[in-house]
Amino acid sequence: MSTFEHLLRERLQHALSWEAELDEQIGTLGGIRDANNDDEHDPDGVPVSAEWSRLAGLLQEIREQQTEIRAALARLERGEYGVCTRCREPIAEARLEVRPMAELCVSCAS
Ligand SMILES: [Zn+2]
């Protein structure tokens, strides 16, 4: 297994467990929200609906990240990993180390 495949799989694993955790928190919040429709007028703490939107936003982000990681793994399988999808030039390793799911080289991304 190449270093980058290892990195990507590690990130994917992390993203998956994070997703499960967020899912659970959102589920719990949903229960609270249903039990207490008046939460917007609660002077204590963050309204449940605001916290729910925040978590839903994070969940969206983590799912997009999973899509990116899976796309990068697919490129690895096809032997196209580390090649810029726009100009077909190799992507610098230093960039891939920071952002292993990068699709574009530094000049195309900027
Ligand atoms: Zn490029």
Q: Where are the domains of the chain?
A: 3-81
CA of 101 relative to ligand 1 center, distance in Å:
14
The Å distance, Cα 107 to ligand 1 centre, comes to 6
The pair of three-digit structure tokens given for residue 104, joined into one six-digit string: 């574009």
Say if CB 90 and CB 84 are below 8 A apart.
Answer: yes
**Half-sphere exposure in the Cβ direction for 97 (13 Å, CA):** 3
| Integer Cα distance of 95 and 62 in angstroms | 21
Give the single-character DSSP code of 81: T
Mean pLDDT for back-to-back runs of 10 residues, the chain (110 residues): 88 97 92 70 72 94 97 96 96 93 95
pLDDT at 31 (0 to 100): 85
Determine the 3-state secondary structure of 18 from DSSP.
helix
Cα of 104 from ligand 1 centre, angstroms: 5
Three-class SS of residue 26?
Answer: helix
